[in-house]
Chains A and B, each alone.
Chain A
Amino acid sequence: MLTTYCQSLSPALRRYYRISALPCLLFVVAVFAHEWITRQVGVAIALRYVFALLPALLMAWMFALYLRFLRDCDELERRIESGALAWAAGITMLSLMTALFLLDAGLLEMTAKLAIAALAFVLFGSYALVRAVLHRRYA
């Protein structure tokens, strides 16, 4: 079943999944390492900086690979990706402005960490959802 699925993917998407596996894995490891380090007492500030910034560097690596995929993919894939990105940006902007005004009016209370995490969830979640819908539409 996995083999059939892989064969149905375009060469550009197969290549993208293959080359982004390593940074994805390293990102997960870096996030867990960051969580562990931040809970330790007496860790040097420099080390805290390293583990706080490492996930962002790995995200930048994944983003560069994604941009390369966008350049290599065919026109229908590019239409699907640009549609998903546009919807995700719009939904995230709408959520951000709504949350901002609710926070400003004192109707919503949220820590900065939770707000940023929720924003990331909305961005990635809406991208994945719209992308799946568009893939289904053209299937």
Chain B
Amino acid sequence: MKNRLRELRDERGWSQGQLAEQLDVSRQTINALETGKYDPSLPLAFRIARLFEQPIESIFLPDAD
């Protein structure tokens, strides 16, 4: 699954640490999400969508099969 997390974070000028703090996760989790090494759980995906005020499907994009 691809995501626009880095793009959205860069638009707001936040560091990974600042985003991690707002989402109450570790910086490692943000890095793993941004690099596509880890897909978030549904509750975390909802928290991310709420923080960026965008629907989940516009942040997380399925891989083209």
Q: Do A and B come from one complex?
A: yes
Residue of A nearest to B17 (CB): A7
Interface string of B19-53 (1 = CB under 8 A from A): 01000111111011000011011001000000000
A13 within 8 Å of B by Cβ?
Answer: yes
A10 within 8 Å of B by Cβ?
Answer: yes
How many chain B residues have a CB neighbour from A under 8 Å?
15
Task: Tell me the total A-B contact number using a CB cutoff of 8 A.
Answer: 43
Given the interface contacts A75-B29, A75-B44, A76-B29, does A137 sit within 8 Å of B24 by beta carbon? no
Residue of A nearest to B21 (CB): A11
How many Å from the CB of A23 to the closest CB on chain B?
A: 23
Task: Return chain B residues, CB-CB under 8 Å to A75.
Answer: 25, 29, 40-41, 44
* Interface SS of chain A: helix
Q: Which has the most chain B C-beta neighbours within 10 Å: A11, A74, A135?
A: A74
Task: Return chain B residues, CB-CB under 8 Å to A9.
Answer: 26
Task: Return chain B residues, CB-CB under 8 Å to A79.
Answer: 38
Interface residues of B (CB under 8 A from A): 17, 20, 24-29, 31-32, 37-38, 40-41, 44
